[in-house]
Amino acid sequence: MEEEFFTLEEVSKYLKIPKSTLYKLSQQGKIPSCKIGKQLRFRKSSLDKWISQKENESRNTAIDSVFPAQDSHRRKKRPKTSFAY
């Protein structure tokens, strides 16, 4: 099976995000890409896997916000304060 590679322009259309954002993500190593000469290339299978990972991360974040860890929902004891009446 032959791997499918995308250009920057094609990935921009595929993901519906600006090319400048793709450049930044690539430079920061946050999106799977490789440079061939001076051109960025993106493997479609790697992009699809990356998208799935991002979906899982956001799903887990949403679940954590609805169902926080047991220790985080316990009320912290406030220090006793004395009031002068």
Query: What is the b/e burial string over 6-43, where b = at least 16 CB atoms within 10 angstroms of the residue's CB?
Result: bebeebbeebeeeeeebeebbeeeebebeeeeeebebb
pTM of the entire predicted model: 0.69
Amino acid at position 9, single letter = E
pLDDT in tens, 70-84: 655 555 666 666 666
Query: Counting every residue, how long is the chain?
Result: 85
Q: What is the CATH number of the domain that holds 30?
A: 3.90.105
> How many percent of the chain have pLDDT more than 70?
79
Q: What is the mean pLDDT of the chain?
A: 85
Alpha-carbon gap, residue 20 to 25, rounded angstroms: 9
Answer whether residue 30 is part of any domain.
yes
Domain of 14 in residue numbering reads as 1-55
Count of domains observed in the chain: 1
